[in-house]
Amino acid sequence: MMQEPIFDFKSMPKIELHAHLTGSITRECLHEIWKKKKGAGETDLEDPLVVMPPGNHNYDLTTFFPLFSSYIYHLINDAESLDYSTRSVIKDFARDGVVYVELRTTPRAMPKAGLDKAGYVSAVLRAIDAAQQEEPTLHARLILSIDRRNSREEAHEVVALAKRFRDQGVVAIDLCGDPTKGDVSLFTPAIEEAKAAGLKVTIHFAEAEASASDAELSTIMSWTPDRLGHVIHVPEAVKQQIAARTGIGLELCLSCNVHAKMIVGSFEAHHFGEWWRVQGPIVVPCTDDVGVFGSPLSNEWALIQQHFKIGRDEILGLARKGIEAIFGGDDEKVRLRGIMW
Ligand code: IMP
Ligand code: ZN
């Protein structure tokens, strides 16, 4: 059979719905920030290019989370580096042909910058705004993440921030963080508060065996989330529940799952192959943490074409289907329908 012509995935207009802000910062950007701070005698940290050697994308669940808590959060710890890195993330997505992105971030105080959590969210939104002025084809929204290690009160604080910054581009709440930690049932009241306020809800779901107990999956399904991220260790009965939820978004992150060995086998074994044809749910390929796993969204689509042998029209149809899973509202959907092939 004749090989499909190579598709130019960079120029294909794309939607990114699962990208963690700090995890999306490239090593080169981290290096630039480090170089400036080092030159000014403001940091004792090691060069990011040494800590995260270019080409090394094999972080697993034991090495991935400490990378943030013990390194990146110490480097991105002031207003200038937050602003610079956020703009840089937006620019990178735009250059990769992304026309709509929902970034997510966990509000954190930056004492060095005099920023509390609200100040952090506000600074991120300002940086996104500024970057969008320079990249007018790309529209961005923000999702605020509750971390699995958060207390009930901290979770409510995230929801309160999402409500407060709603008219400035915050569209939803996420639950993320180390899947081996925490008890998600603690967050039921916070999620209910978010939903009652009309915020959308997306949840990291069955990402590891530790976060895929029957109790956890049933608690999360009872929240009727609008989208689910990862969806890896899912028992058959829960798969059927998901399949029956028309319009639920499934944010699938191929390279992340393969590099972090979250699935058994390589790309061909990824559950994208199981879900993409299922009617009802809307499958959206996403990068998760392109700064760590090194695969831009255009490459995720190339991997999909390569490993699942999906033809041009089906690829374009799938990309367009993602429009229905965005949290950015009807006007944005109309815009995307007009520009996506
Ligand atoms: P931030 O929230 O913008 O600081 O982005 C980095 C944070 O996102 C990490 O510290 C994790 O808590 C979270 N994160 C990134 N990728 C994943 C993932 O695949 N699963 C769960 N949490 C994640
Ligand atoms: Zn994630």
Helix (H, G, I), strand (E, B) or coil at 224: coil
Question: Is residue 60 a part of any domain in this protein?
Answer: yes
> pLDDT tens digits for 193-250?
999 999 999 999 999 999 999 999 999 999 999 999 999 999 999 999 999 999 999 9
Q: Could you tell me if 272 and 308 are in contact, meaning their C-beta atoms sit under 8 angstroms apart?
A: yes
Kindly report the protein residue whose alpha carbon is nearest to atom 14 of ligand 1.
177
289 Cβ inside 6 Å of ligand 1:
yes
Identify whether 207 is a catalytic site residue. yes
Question: Is residue 238 a part of any domain in this protein?
Answer: yes
pLDDT (0 to 100) of residue 6: 63
Atom of ligand 1 nearest to the CA of 179: 21
Question: Is residue 247 a part of any domain in this protein?
Answer: yes
Kindly list the strands in the beta sheet with 98-105, ordered across the sheet, starting from the edge strand earlier in the chain.
Answer: 14-20, 98-105, 139-147, 170-176, 200-205, 227-230, 249-252, 282-285
Question: What is the 24 CA–ligand 1 centroid distance (Å)?
Answer: 10
Count of domains for the chain: 1
pLDDT (0 to 100) of residue 112: 85
> Helices 27-39 and 79-95 sit at what angle, rounded to 10 degrees?
150
pLDDT (0 to 100) of residue 285: 98
Angle at 154 between CA 149 and CA 160, to 5 degrees: 140
Handedness of CA 91, 93, 95, 97 (dihedral sign): negative
Range of the domain at 203: 22-329
- DSSP H or E stretch at residue 61: helix 61-67
286 Cβ inside 6 Å of ligand 1:
no
Between CA 232 and CA 327 the distance in angstroms is 23
DSSP character at residue 127 = H
Q: Report the C-alpha dihedral over residues 146, 151, 154, 159, rounded to 10 degrees.
A: 50
Characterise 104 by phi-psi region: left (phi > 0), alpha (psi -120 to 50), beta (else): beta
Question: Is residue 302 a part of any domain in this protein?
Answer: yes
Query: What separation in angstroms does the CA of 198 have from each of 19, 145, 193, 204, 246?
Result: 22, 16, 9, 20, 19
Between CA 83 and CA 66 the distance in angstroms is 23
Question: Is residue 8 a part of any domain in this protein?
Answer: no
Question: What is the 149 CA–ligand 2 centroid distance (Å)?
Answer: 15
pLDDT (0 to 100) of residue 286: 99
CATH number for the domain spanning 148: value is 3.20.20.140
| Burial status of residue 247 (CB atoms within 10 A of its CB: 0-12, 13-18, 19 or more) | exposed
145 Cβ inside 6 Å of ligand 1:
yes
Question: Is residue 286 a part of any domain in this protein?
Answer: yes
pLDDT (0 to 100) of residue 293: 98
Question: Is residue 13 a part of any domain in this protein?
Answer: no
pLDDT (0 to 100) of residue 4: 57
Residues flanking ion ligand 2, Cβ below 5 Å: 288
Question: What is the 177 CA–ligand 1 centroid distance (Å)?
Answer: 5
105 Cβ inside 6 Å of ligand 1:
yes
Between CA 172 and CA 130 the distance in angstroms is 21
Kindly report the protein residue whose alpha carbon is nearest to atom 8 of ligand 1.
20
Question: Is residue 222 a part of any domain in this protein?
Answer: yes
DSSP character at residue 215 = H
Question: What is the 312 CA–ligand 1 centroid distance (Å)?
Answer: 32
pLDDT (0 to 100) of residue 5: 54
Q: Which residues of the chain have pLDDT under 70?
A: 1-6
Q: Cβ contacts of residue 315 below 8 Å, gap of 6+?
A: 7, 12, 301, 304, 305
Kindly report the protein residue whose alpha carbon is nearest to atom 13 of ligand 1.
177
Atom of ligand 1 nearest to the CA of 65: 10
